[in-house]
Amino acid sequence: GVSVFDDSYPAVSRLDGTLLTALRSAAVVARTGGVTFVVNSGWRSRAYQQYLLDQAVITYGSLPEARRWVATPATSPHVSGKAIDLGGTGAADWLDRFGATYGLCQIYQNEPWHFEFRAQATMRGCPPSYPDPTHDPRMR
C-alpha cells in the first residue's frame, strides 16, 4: 500500500518530476471522490527490470512472448522513471475518465494499470493506446 506521496520509496522518489507532480495533483482530487492510488510499481533499477524480464521468459515460455508484457532494461519507461503501475480500487477507472486532464495516459491496452505523462493530453486528450508494448516504437 505505497502512496504516491511517500518519498521514502525510490520507486516513488526517483520518478520523473513531471510525472510525479501530475500524479500527486490527480491523487488529491481522486481522494475527494474516495479513490486512493496505490503504487504497485514505479521507478525500477536496470537490474530489477532484467529480473522481471527473466521471470517473464519463464512464465510466458519465450523472450518474444515475455516482451509483450515486460520491457528490457534499455527500453523500459519504468527504468527512466517515466511510468507508474497503479492499483487501488477504482484508480484505473478514475484515471481513464479524468487522467488526461493531468496528462496521465494509459499507454497499453493489455496493461490498464500502467500510466505515463503525455503533455499534449491536457489539451487534446490521450493518444490512442497500443494493443501491447510490442506495438510501441520505443520498444524496438
Does 85 bind Zn ion (CB under 5 A)? Our answer is: yes
In the numeric block, which cell numbers belong to residue 132?
501491447
Nearest 5 degrees, angle CA 108-CA 49-CA 125? 25
Residue in the shown chain whose Cβ atom is closest to Zn ion: 114
* 109/124 Cα distance (integer angstroms): 19
Does 16 bind Zn ion (CB under 5 A)? Our answer is: no
Strands, E, within the chain: which ranges? 38-41, 84-87, 104-106, 114-117
Tell me how far, at minimum, the Cβ of 50 lies from Zn ion, in Å: 15
Does 114 bind Zn ion (CB under 5 A)? Our answer is: yes
Q: Is the Cβ of residue 102 or residue 116 nearer to Zn ion in the bound state?
A: 116
Contact region with Zn ion (CB under 5 A), list: 12-20, 25-33, 84-92, 118-126: 84-92
CA-CA-CA-CA torsion sign (17, 22, 25, 29): negative
Tell me how far, at minimum, the Cβ of 62 lies from Zn ion, in Å: 21
Contact region with Zn ion (CB under 5 A), list: 15-23, 45-53, 82-90, 97-105: 82-90
